[in-house]
Structure 1
Amino acid sequence: MKRTGKNNLIYLMALILVIIAFIAFATYGMLDGSKDEEWYPVSVIVENSSSDRFTSFREGLERGAEDYHIRLNVVSTGAFSGIEEEYQIIHREIDNGAKGVIVEMCDSSNYTDDSAVEIGSDKMILVETDVEAEGMYAAILPQSYEMGEAVAEAVIADYGEKIEDTDIGILAGNLKQTAGQQCLKGFMDKIESAGASILWNLSDEDNVNNTFEWCLEKKRVDIVVSLDNDRTEQAVDYLQAQEQTEFGLYGIGCSEKNVYYLDKGVIGALVVPNEFNIGYLSAAAIAGQLREPLSSAKTEKVGFLTITKDNLYDEENQKILFPIVQ
């Protein structure tokens, strides 16, 4: 019996040693694996980077950065004077050690092939808008044409047969961007087929801050349609300064301010791009490009929601509007 007890003790000790050795080996493997996993420094360059409209986009970026081992640097920017200023920032970030950049081009129309060669397709992911030489870079884009259509559909749904007697003014936003051009085309194709009249159409190049109020005074409209977040906020600000509502407002936007005024009934319908997914997928895309530089550039389009006061608090809509609190 004593020999049996001694054998059991030896067996137990051997088993403990095996378990300890296994744990030590597994721990070493985890530490060694994390040590070998490269974390890539990536700079994010968008216009007016502190704008509220990028809140969900930044949240998606940060979540993607954690999953794909990226060290993010969101570059502090204001309004760009032009594409050359943006190129200078891109090159500066790469010169300062960024392995890659995630960029919203402020101007697609003045993009040049020479700049593309200098930057390299394996180092840059485009977001929000493409360049005219499509396929040069991987791009994570909203469904711009379809979003323009969706704004028109919201207007038509509310005005019905009266749409043919309805005058509309458009705040088109940045038409130097491919996305802005596509969004305007989607809206015009749909609304003109319904018979509505467009009295004026202002882009950012029209010095819209001065001409918007002038147009409202000289050519009064029943509806203002705003095709980007900032122009929607501008229209909201104008309405809030008036003693009475002067026009119905429909637009594109994703900032908390625009969602708030949708809830208050100032905005009739808001088309909201899924900015969280755009941010997350852009982080995933740049990580893929950096790990496999010879992989071909791909364009991926991200969906959107049409939000009204009636469906604002639907659970799925809240997840898209406020991903941070999920």
Structure 2
Amino acid sequence: MKKDKKMFILIEAVLGSLVLVLAFVMLQEKNEKEKQKIAVIIENSDDNQWAGLKYGLKKAAEDRDVELSVTSTGPTLTAKEQEKLIRQEVEGGADAVILQPVVDRDTEKMLQEAERELPVMLIGENPVKRKESTEIPVVRPDNYAMGRKLAEELLKDYNGHLKGKSLGILNREKESEDIKQRKKGFEEGIKGKGAEFVWSYFIAADHEAAEDLEKQPEVDFVIAFDDDSLTAAGNCAASNNLHGALVYGIGHSTEAVYYLDTGAAECLAVPDEFQIGYQSLITLLEQMEQPFKERNSHEISYAVIRRENLFSRENQEILYTMSQ
């Protein structure tokens, strides 16, 4: 009898443990199902220039325990293609989207449709200007200030004047609002300093036209306003195909840093892509938690890096995030 009683108690204990395990598993599954899903749509998503951005997004997702997915995209997107991708993400269960908007005549319509579907956070610049209270929030560096700073660095190297010097301007084929702001800052920064703008050249997103860069007239400086253009110019300079022109520009990839390190570029303004990724996700989640709160945009810092301070302590963190 005692033996039967012990067996009964043992069986009850085992069953009780199984119930607890099952309850724990069900709770975990429930929690996983309830995780918010955030989709990220950027052009050329597998390109290494986005390493810092994606690392920041990943860290923010871990800190806030949300599910993050970066949509696979090619080097070019249209607004209609972005709209289609957003719909696909909504159908796949996305609760919100972080979007790098393309430059397109249909961009405003695409953003209006996206806002009807789910909360939206922009990175880069907002190409659609509305009243400040109704603008979609955006996380970006101060693009005008970066362009202006690049002009200051160039002037510093030549005692504040560029009389008799010539420049070539290099940027992406589609001039996004952030590139326009960078150019504006640079051009206003060297206004009246004697420099002559000789040419402007556009790099396709897939770099197909980069080999024609060497055919441009000789200039003293090539100024590149985005990572694709900077790496194209650096590659051309490294092959001695820029006729001795010095490269100053804006970039945020390990390839851009490589060209700086090897002397193919003189000066690099580097937006903190890690913070852009991290802040965009955190801000989006805060706005989802408090939908009636005023929507705020954020400006992120940038660094100016030269070969001599490339591996300084203050630049270590930004270089580390690029390589993740």
Q: TM-score range by the shorter chain?
A: 0.7 to 0.9
Do 2:51 and 2:321's aligned partners in 1 also have CA atoms closer than 8 Å? no
Which structure 1 segments of 5+ residues have no match? 1-27
- Note the C-alpha offset of 1:121: 8.4
2:61 counterpart (56, 59, 65) = 65
Deviations 1:35-69 (A, max 9, x none): 59952101110000011111111111011111122
RMSD: 2.9
- The structure-2 alpha-carbon separation of the partners of 1:101 and 1:212, relative to structure 1 and needing over 3 Å to count, comes to same
How many Å apart are 1:120 and its aligned residue? Answer: 3.3
- Aligned residue number for residue 217 of structure 2: 219
Question: What's 1:103 paired with?
Answer: 99
2:125 is equivalent to residue 129 of structure 1? yes
Q: Percent identity?
A: 27
Report the Cα distance in structure 2 between the residues aligned to 1:84 and 1:325, rounded to whole angstroms. 32
Do the aligned partners of residues 161 and 109 (structure 1) sit closer, same or farther apart at CA in structure 2, a change above 3 Å counting? same
1:185 aligns with 2:184: yes
SS in 2 for 1:298: coil
- 1: CA distance, partners of 2:242 / 2:177: 36
TM-fit CA distance, 1:291: 1.9
- The more displaced of 126-135 and 190-199 is 126-135
Equivalent in the alignment of 1:157? 156
Is residue 308 of structure 1 aligned with residue 309 of structure 2?
no
Deviations 1:67-125 (A, max 9, x none): 12220001111122422111211121112210011110121664224641453386110
Q: CA deviation at 1:289?
A: 2.4
2:281 is equivalent to residue 283 of structure 1: yes
How does the TM-score come out when normalised to structure 2?
Answer: 0.82
What's 2:168 paired with? 169
Q: Relative to 1, partners in 2 of residues 1:305 and 1:114: Cα closer, same or farther, differing over 3 Å? A: closer
Which one is further off, 49-58 or 237-246? 237-246
Using structure 1 for the length normalisation, give the TM-score. 0.81
1:198 is aligned to: 197
In the alignment, the residues of structure 2 paired with residue 282 and residue 43 of structure 1 have an alpha-carbon distance, to the nearest angstrom, of: 12
Measure, in 2, the Cα distance between the counterparts of 1:320 and 1:106. 26
Q: Is the 8 A contact 1:147 1:271 kept in 2?
A: yes
The answer to whether the Cα contact below 8 Å between 2:268 and 2:304 also exists between their aligned partners in 1 is yes
Give the counterpart of 2:264 among 252, 263, 266.
266
Q: Distance in 1 between matches of 2:300 and 2:93?
A: 30
Moved more, 202-211 or 142-151: 202-211
Mapping of residues 246-257 of structure 1, within 5 Å: 246-257=244-255
Runs of 4 or more, structure 1, over 4 Å off, are 34-38, 204-209
Cα gap change, 1:36 to 1:49, in 2 (>3 Å): closer
Q: Say if 2:65 is the partner of 1:56.
A: no
1:142 paired residue number:
141
> Which AA in structure 2 matches 1:253?
G
Q: Verify the 8 A CA contact 1:43 1:100 in the aligned structure 2.
A: yes
